[in-house]
């Protein structure tokens, strides 16, 4: 027996129906907010992710599916979508002055991590990217979309956490101050002693108890950001309040991808165990330029599909049912039944039948299991009399109709 690869899952049955509906609802919301789909490749050049996500991040350092293809080029199965969007935008020269672009994507991402609840090695994300708008209205657009969507699919126990990391200018000042503070303090865990030098801001979202204590009294980024960043944040908060979008300021949200500036945010939900973030994102104004492309401001987020599915209410999809189940017992009846049955399907009526041997009782049981609303019975007695039986399964009542009525049976139900 060969089993699936660790962290890779089959999705089928009821779960596949849930996914189908969730994707449909996502597309509806994306379209309402004016976002267009991009179907991006799964494989990209490794360099794209090294340069965008950041060389020293965990994702790039130890979680990527990277390999050499047959022409010895290093390629990587995408661990996220944003880098690809930027590559796509520049490759097709889609940007122009004062142009605002809105893209969304849905699809699988790959990270080599130990699987646990809400975390797989192949997982799916739905993401939006709004390009060309440096004002807080960009954040407002993607966050109002987020809020409306999550509300509409019934995810109630959630909270939007918001922070501002400052622009490259003011962050530099904060980074310096924070580093000085951390140097004085010796209560850091091993990881944070290392992080201190590579990316001191990451210390802020360390979960170890001793670090938390240290962080509590650390200088706060929001006290250091420049006028420009402050105004940006204030305007965004004003817009969110205007539309009653709930949020909390959390000065410890840092994000593990290096490309973020100014606004960063995460949506957390109850019921996921320790992987409580279902959606996260922020502003990345310098990413495109840093990759050698347009100088274009950008905001985006990504939603974890698997995590969202775990949170959906039980009644998210309605029960499947069948319109008519046909019961017959021999080839003589089959000749009468199959042509009109085939026509009913062409008319969009959901029908089924069972050509195998079996008693009327067993076929009735089958009809019941398939949740058929009606059953047609055509036995030898009926054929002799030129009629068939139509039974309403919910009412338990049946009527006898002439065989001609099989042609337009949809009128009888």
Contacting positions for RNA (CB under 7 A): 3, 6-7, 57-59, 63, 80, 111, 113-120, 123, 125, 191, 195, 202, 205-208, 255-257, 266, 273-280, 302-304, 306-307, 358-362, 364-369, 375, 377, 379-382, 389, 391, 393-394, 396, 398
Smallest gap, in angstroms, from Cβ of residue 184 to RNA?
21
| CB nearer RNA, residue 84 or residue 125 | 125
The first and second tokens of residue 401, run together, are 């109709």
Distance CA 89, CA 82 (A): 11
Rama region for 382: left / alpha / beta (φ>0; ψ in -120 to 50; rest): alpha
Smallest gap, in angstroms, from Cβ of residue 394 to RNA?
6
Distance CA 381, CA 254 (A): 76
Residue 159 φ then ψ, to 5° = -145, 135
| CB nearer RNA, residue 289 or residue 365 | 365
Smallest gap, in angstroms, from Cβ of residue 227 to RNA?
29
| CB nearer RNA, residue 87 or residue 195 | 195
Smallest gap, in angstroms, from Cβ of residue 102 to RNA?
19
Q: Beta partners for 351? A: 324
| CB nearer RNA, residue 210 or residue 343 | 210
| CB nearer RNA, residue 42 or residue 226 | 42
Measured torsion, CA atoms of residues 252, 254, 255, 259, in degrees rounded to the nearest 10: 170
Kindly write down the DSSP assignment for every residue of 204-215, as one continuous string. Answer: GG---HHHHHHH
Smallest gap, in angstroms, from Cβ of residue 19 to RNA?
14
Rama region for 59: left / alpha / beta (φ>0; ψ in -120 to 50; rest): alpha
The first and second tokens of residue 192, run together, are 């944070």
Smallest gap, in angstroms, from Cβ of residue 234 to RNA?
25
| CB nearer RNA, residue 99 or residue 115 | 115
């Amino acid at each position: 027996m060969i089993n699936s690869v660790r962290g890779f899952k089959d999705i089928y049955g009821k779960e596949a129906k849930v996914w189908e509906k969730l994707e449909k609802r996502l597309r509806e919301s994306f379209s309402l907010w004016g976002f267009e789909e991009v179907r991006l490749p799964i494989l990209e050049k490794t360099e794209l992710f090294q340069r965008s996500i950041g060389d020293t991040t965990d994702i790039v350092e130890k979680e990527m599916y990277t390999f050499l293809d047959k022409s010895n080029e290093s390629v990587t199965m995408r661990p996220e979508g944003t880098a690809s969007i930027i590559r796509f935008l520049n490759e097709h020269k889609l940007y122009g002055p004062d142009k605002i672009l809105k893209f969304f994507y849905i699809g699988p991402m790959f990270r080599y991590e130990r699987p646990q609840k809400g975390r797989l090695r192949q997982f799916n994300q739905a993401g939006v990217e709004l390009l060309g708008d440096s004002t807080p209205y960009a954040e407002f657009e993607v966050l109002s979309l987020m809020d409306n969507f999550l509300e509409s699919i019934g995810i109630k126990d959630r909270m939007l956490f918001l922070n501002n990391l400052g622009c490259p200018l003011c962050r530099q000042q904060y980074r310096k101050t924070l580093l000085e503070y951390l140097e004085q303090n010796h209560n850091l865990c091993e990881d944070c002693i290392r992080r201190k030098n590579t990316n001191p801001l990451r210390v802020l979202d360390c979960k170890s108890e001793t670090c938390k204590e240290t962080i509590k009294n650390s200088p706060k980024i929001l006290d250091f950001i420049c006028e420009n960043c402050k105004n940006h944040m204030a305007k965004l908060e004003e817009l969110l309040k205007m539309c009653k979008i709930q949020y909390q300021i959390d000065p410890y949200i840092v994000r593990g991808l290096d490309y973020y500036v100014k606004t960063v945010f995460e949506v957390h939900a109850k019921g996921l165990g320790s992987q409580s973030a279902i959606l996260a994102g922020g502003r990345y104004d310098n990413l495109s330029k840093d990759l050698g492309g347009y100088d274009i401001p950008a905001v985006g987020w990504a939603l974890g599909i698997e995590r969202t599915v775990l949170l959906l209410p039980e009644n998210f999809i309605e029960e499947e049912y069948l319109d008519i189940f046909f019961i017959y017992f021999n080839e003589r009846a089959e000749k009468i039944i199959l042509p009109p049955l085939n026509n009913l399907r062409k008319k969009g009526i959901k029908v089924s039948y069972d050509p195998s041997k079996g008693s009327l009782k067993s076929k009735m049981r089958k009809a019941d299991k398939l949740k058929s609303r009606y059953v047609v019975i055509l036995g030898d007695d009926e054929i002799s009399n030129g009629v068939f039986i139509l039974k309403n399964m919910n009412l338990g009542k049946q009527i006898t109709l002439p065989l001609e009525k099989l042609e337009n049976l949809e009128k009888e139900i």
